Structure 1
Amino acid sequence: MDKKINISWDILVKKVRWGLTPEEESAFREWLAQDKSHEVYFERVRKVWDADEPTSSLKSNLSKVMTRFDAYVEKEKELRRRRIMRNVYRYAACLLVVLTVGGGMWFFSQNDESVKVEPKMAQEILPGGNRAIILLADGEKVDVEWLADSSRYKVDGVEVTTEEGKIRYMGKSNTKVEYNTIMIPRGGEYQVELSDGTKVWLNAETQLRIPTTFVGTERRVFLKGEAYFDVTKNDKQPFIVETDLGEVKVYGTQFNVKFYPEEREIKATLVEGNIGFRSEQVAELKIKPGYQLRLAEGAKKPEVKPVKIYNEIAWKNRMFCFESERLESIMVKLERWYNVDVVFEDPALKNFKFSGNLNRYDNIDKILHFFEEVFDVKFVVDGNTIKVMRK
């Protein structure tokens, strides 16, 4: 087996900025040729650097030596910006002297034409898409958005199919339990197939901690956020979804669990099959299909009621479905999916209620305009912030 070649960060930065000496170029070429992913990684770094964009979304999918490269690049770019700004200030000071001494007043008096200011292009707010970060057992992060454009990527028993937006765990024959965490950012979603064949759809701003293979008498995963589960039936090894407010236990069924810590409640909605819920305050409680269990933080007794399943799992079906839902709750969902911040200028507007179905992949302007037709509200988009105010 060939020895793994690591490369100095300085060489990568010099390659992007100035160029390399013959010896450095030779080392760079050797590193580049060793693994296709090295070429992909360097191309991403080069594009980010040339575009002068932040590197916060750039995560290494290579060896551990690369995991801190993002911060290094960011620091280098900041130093470059400071040098540029020092030169700008120096040249501006010189220009001011020239204008003042050499007839600068004539320049200002003769320039009667109004200054034309190019309108600033509004930042387009796009709907979410297939975005996920896999935190491997050894601490390495794999950002699937920055993987190669090839259809499949394999690492440590995990296969990522980027075209389909799926992460598949192939299972290992060893009995050692190792955990991965699938992290879905704002504006993201992804599908995961666990080692037992169970399929999971993950909504925006969600974390799912899972064993790479299921060992023992149960199949236990840990959830923060929202996920839809289609569990492979196994009577001898129940499937358990654990949250901070309790756990859902199943043997083979389809259901949705929503637990965002900031919302201080858990909702478990059963589509088919049967599930049980239990917590420190609640003995195991069975739920029938078409029903939803809702338990608020601090409550001793959950609420169980029939719901319209389609509305509860609309996000999985690429839709927003609201039924007499408060505008505040609706805007929280838009924040997560479109990766925006919403500010209510008048808190009373939060209580407006709305019913309707909207395409989750529509342009956000279309969705906001729809609300403006229904409510006595208007929306002002300022960068990545949406202000809600009265008309």
Structure 2
Amino acid sequence: MTQAEFRILFEKYRSEEISEEEFRALWETLADETQVEDWRKAIDDMLNDGAVPDLSDPAKGRAILEKILKRPAKHVTMRPWKTWAAAAALILMLGIGFLWRQASVAPNDPVLVKETSDIPPGGNGAILTLANGSTVVLDSLGNGLIAAQQGSQAILQNGQLEYEPSGGETAGLSYNTMRTPNGRQFRLKLPDGTLVWLNAASSIRYPVAFTGKERRVEVQGEAYFEVTENAQMPFIVDADHRTEITVLGTQFNVNAYDDEPTLNTTLLQGRVRITAAGKNVELKPGQQAQVSRDQQIKTANDANLDKAVAWKNGTFNFEGSNLREIMRQLERWYDIKVVYEKDIPPTEYFGEISKRNNLQGVLRILEKSEVRFRLENNNTLVVTR
């Protein structure tokens, strides 16, 4: 059972809409030691002690689910208000995950999105396009060989696609493309061992084997890289055909969405060189390069590293974000379209929210700043303030 399937059944259990057959499937997943890590991640470490329970029959499975449900949600931590030219709304919600409905809501708080209209969070998944043009939907596949091509084999292993040499013919370069639609993210291990986390609505094009003097990949959307060091073969990222990032061995995040005002490269470790319109800038750890639409490069020396990689770590980080920036993130993760009924005031938000929340859970928190929402046609979110 995939984590996405687990979440769906778990939500059905909490809403008391689960059938006996579905409950047994849920229980069997909990009881299966080979899937322990999967369900632990899916419930976001909500067991108090994290120990694997002894589940020898469905009754014990039901008991452990009850324990999960009855565990209190972590406290909402409020931070002091700051003075801004615009009104400021402050939110900080950590580790809520599946327990959002357990959180206390004042009786008079308006519920503007009906329970029946709620949208679950995204999950792991991607579409792989092979060198011959055929496509493979990775969401629905189990562990094993996906394809063998040009001396390399693509293997799916515990939610990660990996490339290993197969000893076959390697003449010429063959390229694969991994694409994550809205509501999906995925992890990839390239032929050189470099790890790539791909955010929702993103893609990466790469050779199935690296040859020659460089390792070059193309990225659109957002990706986090942990690059395997090889001084003789620099690693180069072509970000949305707007910026080139050259590295030797490092950890960095690239945000190259078309609908964001700047293309941002945030360096966590190592050293990278940013090239745009013939201009070069070298980054040190903790810095962020921001490339504007007119190819101007600005360097921020005190980059918010937690915010840059929050998506990879399972949270939304809204530190210093305005509402439109937040809505763009929700569009990608919940696969919705956001429209605005009227102008939105320049409110600034702070804090984090778990990406495991259903859409309604996130909206209820945002409503504390007096913004209002209406969900139409199950996928159009109208901002009414």
TM band (smaller chain) = 0.5 to 0.7
In the alignment, structure 1 residue 146 sits paired with structure 2 residue 143:
no
Q: What is the root-mean-square deviation of aligned Cα atoms in Å?
A: 1.6
* Cα distance, 1:160 vs structure 2: 1.4
SS at structure 1 position matched to 2:165? coil
Give the length in aligned residue pairs.
Answer: 264
How far is 1:134 from its partner? 0.4
- Aligned position for 2:195: 199
Alpha carbons of structure 1 residues 185 and 235: separation in structure 2 relative to 1, 3 Å: same
Per-residue displacement from partner, 1:191-219 (whole Å, max 9, x unpaired)?
00000000000000001000001010000
| 1:307 CA drift (Å) | 1.1
Q: Which has the larger radius of gyration?
A: 1
Structure 1 stretches lacking a partner, 5+ long:
1-119
What is the aligned partner in structure 2 of residue 387 from structure 1? 382
Equivalence for 2:96: none
Mapping of residues 234-245 of structure 1, within 5 Å:
234-243=230-239, 244-245=241-242
Deviation, structure 1 residue 331: 0.5
Alpha-carbon displacement from aligned partner over 1:61-84 (angstroms, at most 9, x marks no partner): xxxxxxxxxxxxxxxxxxxxxxxx
* Separation of aligned partners in 2, 1:379 and 1:231: 41
Partner residue of 2:116 out of 111, 122, 126: 122
Residue of structure 2 in register with 1:277 after alignment: 274
Given residue 328 of structure 2, which amino acid in structure 1 is its aligned partner? V
Q: Secondary structure at the match of 1:122?
A: helix
Q: How does 1:109-258 map to 2 (within 5 A)?
A: 122-147=116-141, 150-156=142-148, 157-161=153-157, 164-171=158-165, 173=167, 174-243=170-239, 244-258=241-255
- The answer to whether the 8 Å contact 1:206/1:226 transfers is yes
Distance 2:215 2:245 in 1: 12
TM superposition score normalised by structure 1: 0.65
Contact 1:128/1:188, CA 8 A, preserved across alignment:
yes
Does residue 378 of structure 1 match 2:378? no
**Identity of matched residues, %:** 36
Unaligned runs of 5+ in 2: 1-113
Relative to 1, partners in 2 of residues 1:172 and 1:215: Cα closer, same or farther, differing over 3 Å? farther
Look up the match of 2:26. none
Q: Is the 8 A contact 1:320 1:360 kept in 2?
A: yes
Structure 1 residue runs of 4 or more that deviate by more than 6 Å after TM superposition: none
Q: In structure 1, what is the equivalent of residue 90 of structure 2?
A: none
Paired amino acid for 1:257: V
1:216 partner amino acid: G
> SS at 2:351's partner residue?
strand
Which residue of the partner structure matches residue 331 of structure 2? 335
Q: Distance in 2 between matches of 1:121 and 1:270?
A: 41
Are 2:287 and 1:295 equivalent residues in the alignment? Answer: no
* Equivalent residue number for residue 358 of structure 1: 353
**Distance in 2 (alpha carbons) for counterparts of 1:286 and 1:251:** 13
Matching residue of 1:41:
none
Moved more, 294-303 or 357-366: 294-303
CA distance in 2, matches of 1:271, 1:301: 19
Distance 1:271 1:194 in 2: 20
| Corresponding residue of 1:348 | 344
The letter of the residue matching 2:242 is L
CA contact (8 A) 2:180 2:200 kept: yes
Tell me if the contact between 1:247 and 1:278 (Cα under 8 Å) persists in the aligned partners. yes
Q: Secondary structure at the match of 2:307?
A: helix
How far apart, CA to CA, are the structure 2 residues paired with 1:280 and 1:175? 33
More helix per residue: 1
The Cα shift of 1:172 comes to 5.1
In the alignment, structure 1 residue 261 sits paired with structure 2 residue 262: no
Distance in 1, Cα, partners of 2:296 & 2:197: 30
8 Å contact from structure 1 (residues 245, 265) kept in 2: no
- Aligned equivalents of 1:299, 1:233: Cα separation in 2: 29
Tell me, yes or no, if the aligned pair for 2:162 and 2:189 is still in contact at 8 Å: yes
Which residue pairs with 2:104 in the alignment?
none
Which residue of the partner structure matches residue 95 of structure 2? none
The superposition leaves residues 108-136 of structure 1 with CA deviations (integer Å, 9 ceiling, x where unpaired) of xxxxxxxxxxxx98343111111100000
Deviation at 1:269, TM superposition (A): 0.3
Moved more, 337-346 or 301-310: 301-310
Distance apart, 1:241 and its partner CA? 0.4
Larger RCO: Structure 1 or Structure 2 (Cα < 8 Å, ≥ 6 residues apart)?
2
- Following the alignment from structure 1 to structure 2, what is the Cα–Cα distance between the partners of residues 192 and 121? 35
SS at match of 2:121: coil
What does 1:306-325 align with in structure 2 at a 5 Å threshold? 306-325=302-321
CA positional deviation for 1:264? 4.8
Deviations 1:200-249 (A, max 9, x none): 00000001000001010000000000000000000000000002211110
Of the structure 1 ranges 379-388 and 222-231, higher mean CA displacement relative to structure 2 is found in 379-388
Taking a change above 3 Å as real, the CA distance of residues 237 and 122 of structure 1, as seen in their structure-2 partners, is same
Name the aligned partner's letter for residue 381 of structure 1. L
For the 8 Å contact 2:316–2:355, the answer to whether it is kept is yes
